[in-house]
Amino acid sequence: MSDHAMPRAVAQPELEALWLPFTHNRHFKKHPRLVSGAEGMYYTTPDGRRVLDGLSGLWCCNAGHRHPRIVEAVKAQLDELDYAVAFQVQHPKAFDLANALTAAAPGDLNHVFFTNSGSEAVDTALKIALAYHKARGDGGRYRLIGRAKGYHGVGFGGISVGGMTANRKAFASALLPGVDHLPHTHNLEQMAFTRGQPAWGAHLADDLENIVALHDASTIAAVIVEPMQGSAGVIVPPLGYLERLRAMCDKYGILLIFDEVITGFGRLGEMFSPTRLNVMPDILTFAKGITSGMVPLGGALVRDHVYEAFMHGPEHLVEFFHGYTYSGHPLACAAGLAALEVYRDEELFARARRLEPLLAEAVHALRGEPNVIDIRNFGLAAAVELAPRADGVSLRAMEIFDRCFEQGVMLRYTGDILAMGPAATASEDELGIMVDTLRRAIRAAS
């Protein structure tokens, strides 16, 4: 029997009580999509169908689902220690994971502050940036600079520096004051159907000079960007763009923060983007792939000069008044240590680099399909942008997403963009299945 034949009858759970995040709840509850199991590259639905996961969960299961070494590490941790107090007490694996991360991180990102999610990691990084300048006697630097189309989680700090309109408009009255935004780099006239980093667009970073001229550098604490904008639909940095941002931040004493919640742990074929892009931030946020999605964990890596700015004054006083009950949770740290070992021992970052041109070749073969107006890729991330339907933005992409899921492939859509981000464990055949299913769905869509 094929994976899609004769689904078995199962009892459906009562749906009304759950308010789903980032979901059209009324539509979903009329047409629910449920998964009840997972292994490797596949989800399993309650009626027994297998669904190829084309987005690594939500950009997080970079070693595939339920990797046995990570599963066993979490099980073993449960038999040893369930929870350790995060304030004034700690457990050994938190230090072990911090040491493993800083040893593998580029440059002098030698200190890590653990959180539980990417949203918390971003808010932590923003608070570190503000407190850093204050600790150095430069407390007039209170402005934070984000970027249009940026996504930095859903904390009030993250949505303030974020640049996705739908995430901000309901909360506009409560966003952080003094925030400004760089322009995005999404320009189809200049960049459509680019493979990898576009040659055009480095000059867009120069808008930071205009922001400095408007507000004065003495008021600006930090600039935060995603090296590659994932949630907005795989918007790839132009060649030279990030280098220009780094140079201007150095010129004006502004901290540069990279939000690597999506790009970290192999998405760009390296642990973190500075190794590939050769641009060092002062603070780097991470989450998702640190545990291959198995247990929530996030954090902020900081360079030596940032950490050391806090380490002065009487030793009995707290240096940074910030933290979470579950910072460095034992289960998360056990999962993180095991995931890092899997990435290393199975050479998954190198495997991601080998898969990158195969994904690029497959997805760019969709050029010329109905309503396809752009295709772009970088690392193990790709996007197909569609012309919107006359009756509404996102309706065409939603229809294609639904068709793909019914045909056994899960992708992601945002607006009229279909995004894919397979795990580094994907096979060439699975990349082909993913793109071929998308092709059929595009052709069948209205």
pLDDT at residue number 390: 93
Between β-strands 180-182 and 143-147, what pairing exists: parallel, antiparallel or unpaired? parallel
pLDDT at residue number 9: 65
CATH number of the domain that 202 lies in?
A: 3.40.640.10
Cα dihedral value 327, 61, 77, 104, nearest 10: -70
Whether residues 379 and 243 fall in one domain: no
Whether residues 319 and 244 fall in one domain: yes
pLDDT at residue number 2: 44
- List per-residue pLDDT tens for the chain, 446 residues long: 344 445 566 677 899 999 999 999 999 999 999 999 999 999 999 999 999 999 999 999 999 999 999 999 999 999 999 999 999 999 999 999 999 999 999 999 999 999 999 999 999 999 999 999 999 999 999 999 999 999 999 999 999 999 999 999 999 999 999 999 999 999 999 999 999 999 999 999 999 999 999 999 999 999 999 999 999 999 999 999 999 999 999 999 999 999 999 999 999 999 999 999 999 999 999 999 999 999 999 999 999 999 999 999 999 999 999 999 999 999 999 999 999 999 999 999 999 999 999 999 999 999 999 999 999 999 999 999 999 999 999 999 999 999 999 999 999 999 999 999 999 999 999 999 999 999 999 999 98
**Is residue 20 one of the residues assigned to a domain?**
no
**Is residue 17 one of the residues assigned to a domain?**
no
Cα–Cα nearest to 383, from 191, 119, 154: 191
Q: How far is CA 84 from CA 89, 91, 121, 316, 431, in A?
A: 7, 6, 20, 22, 41
**Is residue 77 one of the residues assigned to a domain?**
yes
* Cβ neighbours around 170 below 10 Å, total: 9
Whether residues 163 and 260 fall in one domain: yes
Last residue of a domain, one of 306, 329, 345: 345
**Is residue 9 one of the residues assigned to a domain?**
no
Q: How far is the C-alpha of 66 from the C-alpha of 40, rounded, in Å?
A: 7
Q: How far is the C-alpha of 403 from the C-alpha of 257, rounded, in Å?
A: 38
Last residue of a domain, one of 303, 325, 345: 345
What's the structural domain count of the chain? Answer: 2
* Cβ neighbours around 105 below 10 Å, total: 21
Whether the Cβ atoms of residue 431 and residue 359 lie closer than 8 Å to each other: yes
Whether residues 223 and 106 fall in one domain: yes
Q: How far is CA 281 from CA 110, 264, 309, 356, 437, in A?
A: 13, 13, 16, 24, 38
Query: Residue 421: which domain range?
Result: 25-63+347-444
**Is residue 12 one of the residues assigned to a domain?**
no
Whether residues 351 and 340 fall in one domain: no
pLDDT at residue number 272: 98
